[in-house]
Homo-oligomer: A and B are copies of this chain.
Amino acid sequence: MRNDQLAELGQQLRVDAVRAANAAQSGHPTSSMSAADLGAVLLANHLRYDFAQPDHPGNDRLILSKGHASPLLYAMYRAAGVIDDEELLTFRRLGSRMEGHPTPRLPWVDVATGSLGQGLPVGVGMALAGKRLDQIPYRVWVLSGDSEMAEGSVWEAVEHAAYEHLDNVTLIIDVNRLGQRGPTRHEWDLDAYARRLHAFGWHTIEIDGHDVGAIDSAFAEAESTLQKPTAIIARTHKGRGVHDVDDREGKHGKPLPNAEKAIEELGGPRFITVDVAAPPAARVLYGSRGGRAEMPAYDVGTSVATRDAFGDALAALGSVRPEVVALDGEVADSTRTAAFAKEHPDRFFECYIAEQQLVAAAVGMRTRGYIPFASTFAAFLTRAYDFVRMAAVSHAPINLVGSHAGVAIGEDGPSQMGLEDLAMFRAVYGSTVLYPCDANQTARLVEAMADLPGIGYLRTSRGETPVLYGPDEDFPVGGSRVLRSGDQDRVTVVAAGVTVHEALRAADLLEAQGIGVRVIDLYSVKPVDAATLQEAAEATGCLMTVEDHRPQGGIGDAVASALSDGRPLPRLIRLGVQNMPGSATSAEQLHLSGIDAESIAAAVQLLVEEAVVR
């Protein structure tokens, strides 16, 4: 498209953004208007995208990281002829695909945005897939705001992209100078951004973001720049083109005061349609080799850490599922993804100590069809909670594995202990939360995780625990195992992970005193096996949960929720980590937190003595 046409297209996008926000009486037209020329040039002259085939592997990816500027994106879709004017004007209405912030309800949106500073991190994951997995020359275009450059996650991604020489990712920064509540730190100091990006190894281009010719050249330069990613730093005006809002404070996130006048000032509605360039032919390389993975098998009675079993199982899974990839936060030796790295180095991604980028890269790869397992210490996944939350909004089923769960890790102390992870992951929409106690169980669950419909979380333990189950046993997601039961059981102890072993030992101690207890291994914390719990509740009348986790949000809450369906409830008692641990051995920690065998046995004895249980 010629420059004069591009300028017209830019105006069309502005007008449409104004119209959409006016119809909704909310939204962010001014943030859309600043980037309209950038969007116009990208759509008309650079993006290679088959809108009829959003899954075309050769398609470029476009991420609107400044998701609040959704009216711009939707205006671009109208210009591309894939939504009509009527749909555009359903912006922000119930049932409309034109949501306040873009989500994958629209087939051309790969990932939801709206939490700032996530577009580039996820885009880097896509670009990494393009280079190292797909080997398809698609380009990832990320349109970002200037305010969001303050997010550390952006700099994790900046570092990652440069380190991996991702010349297939282009970051476009819409420097409109004004954030939500006032001027940004650097306002129109384009050099401030360029200096930083350049120092990290990026190619940078500074332009007037309303000069379509300059934009066109910059995009072309980005496309031809090799071995490094390019950032285009564009000076723009928020609300560009309408005098009453152009570069004015206090105009963020509101429809224009006088939309009719504004549309007139912008030259009225236009009906330009863009013939977006088709992507080159491409095909996905991987294809399942089929067959069931030869999962590792462990002998009952031996001692194996579940983290070890996870590493072995992931490596085995990778051998039959070429779409399985592993991402590490520089702790692969601890999480045991080192085993995967050794067998499948081409599908192992070192993300260094940058947990937000670790999860974001996984999301990016997921959008390209891969099945990512991203691992670090359970405690450090808290760093990436916003990315996990947004992955759920994006319907991107990634798997996360947190090792070093609970006080059982021992001497390293509270900073390294995952004690809030179950709460965090249970609250995520559509998540599955698994917490195995045994090596063979771990292997089976890892296998199942590859095909989960939502976010999967596996909690592994540092120390060795006895192998309880045979290698051929099944552990369906949503199931549980009754490990001990008898007619005279007076309490049911519900445990998972390390506390299963404590519960079994407690059962032995109590049996010696003539007190029978049922023991349930609740390896699937979400979904939870309500039927088995209800049966145990009826049979024993009292459930005691024991967890190496804070008393809130974990196994105790999961069990209580399974019973909250209006039926009469059993008595419930919870044991969890109430203290702030210091350094101590694993056994000491479990004892001090009141979740070891002796504590469980004592708690049951107390119930029996006080005749709370029959």
Report the separation of the CA atoms of residues A92 and B410 in the bound assembly, to the nearest whole angstrom. Answer: 9
Measured CB to CB, the closest approach of chain B to A496, in angstroms, equals 16
Interface band, chain A: 35 or more
Which residue of B has the minimal Cβ distance to A578?
A: B429
Report the separation of the CA atoms of residues A563 and B543 in the bound assembly, to the nearest whole angstrom. Answer: 13
Which residue of B has the minimal Cβ distance to A612?
A: B566
Measured CB to CB, the closest approach of chain B to A391, in angstroms, equals 12
Q: Which residues of B contact A526 (CB under 8 A)?
A: 552
Which residue of B has the minimal Cβ distance to A337?
A: B181
**Interchain CB contact under 8 A, A561 and B566:** no
Measured CB to CB, the closest approach of chain B to A195, in angstroms, equals 4
Report the separation of the CA atoms of residues A251 and B415 in the bound assembly, to the nearest whole angstrom. Answer: 21
Measured CB to CB, the closest approach of chain B to A30, in angstroms, equals 14
A198 within 8 A of B: yes
A607 within 8 A of B: yes
Q: Which residues of B contact A427 (CB under 8 A)?
A: 419-420, 423-424, 549-550, 552-554
A115 within 8 A of B: yes
**Interchain CB contact under 8 A, A556 and B566:** no
Q: When each residue 566-579 of chain A gets 1 if its CB lies under 8 Å from chain B and 0 otherwise, what string results?
A: 11111111100000
Q: Which residues of B contact A69 (CB under 8 A)?
A: none
A582 within 8 A of B: yes
Q: Which residues of B contact A565 (CB under 8 A)?
A: 573
* A100-B353 contact given A569-B572, A580-B393, CB 8 Å threshold: no
A334 within 8 A of B: yes
**Interchain CB contact under 8 A, B542 and A566:** yes
Q: Which residues 330-364 of A have a CB within 8 angstroms of B?
A: 330-334, 338, 352-357
Q: Which residues 140-178 of A have a CB within 8 angstroms of B?
A: 147-148, 150-156, 159, 163
Q: When each residue 369-390 of chain A gets 1 if its CB lies under 8 Å from chain B and 0 otherwise, what string results?
A: 0000000000110110110011
Q: Which of A482-490, A499-507, A514-522, A583-591 contacts B (4 or more CB under 8 A)?
A: A583-591
A93, A552, A558, A584 interface centre (most CB from chain B within 10 Å): A552
Q: Which residues 395-414 of A have a CB within 8 angstroms of B?
A: 395, 411-414
Q: Which residues of B contact A566 (CB under 8 A)?
A: 542, 571-573, 607, 612
Measured CB to CB, the closest approach of chain B to A590, in angstroms, equals 12
* A354-B411 contact given A196-B196, A420-B389, CB 8 Å threshold: no
Q: Which residues of B contact A356 (CB under 8 A)?
A: 152
Which residue of B has the minimal Cβ distance to A68?
A: B412
Q: When each residue 15-53 of chain A gets 1 if its CB lies under 8 Å from chain B and 0 otherwise, what string results?
A: 000000000101100000000000000000000000000
**Interchain CB contact under 8 A, A101 and B383:** no
Report the separation of the CA atoms of residues A204 and B498 in the bound assembly, to the nearest whole angstrom. Answer: 47
A199 within 8 A of B: yes
**Interchain CB contact under 8 A, A92 and B414:** no
A289 within 8 A of B: no
**Interchain CB contact under 8 A, A156 and B147:** no
* A180-B331 contact given A156-B150, A423-B423, CB 8 Å threshold: yes
Q: Which residues of B contact A114 (CB under 8 A)?
A: 412-416
Measured CB to CB, the closest approach of chain B to A384, in angstroms, equals 9
**Interchain CB contact under 8 A, A574 and B552:** no
A557 within 8 A of B: yes
Q: Which residues of B contact A334 (CB under 8 A)?
A: 180-181
**Interchain CB contact under 8 A, A412 and B156:** no
Instruction: Give the residue of B101, B163, B185 whose beta carbon is less than 8 angstroms from that of A415.
Output: B101
Q: Which residues of B contact A414 (CB under 8 A)?
A: 103, 112, 114, 393
A94 within 8 A of B: yes
Instruction: Supply 6 A–B pairs (Cβ within 8 Å), ascending by A.
Output: A181-B332, A184-B352, A389-B420, A424-B427, A426-B552, A551-B561
7 A-B pairs with the lowest CB-CB distances in the bound complex, closest first: A152-B152, A114-B415, A569-B569, A560-B560, A199-B199, A423-B427, A564-B572
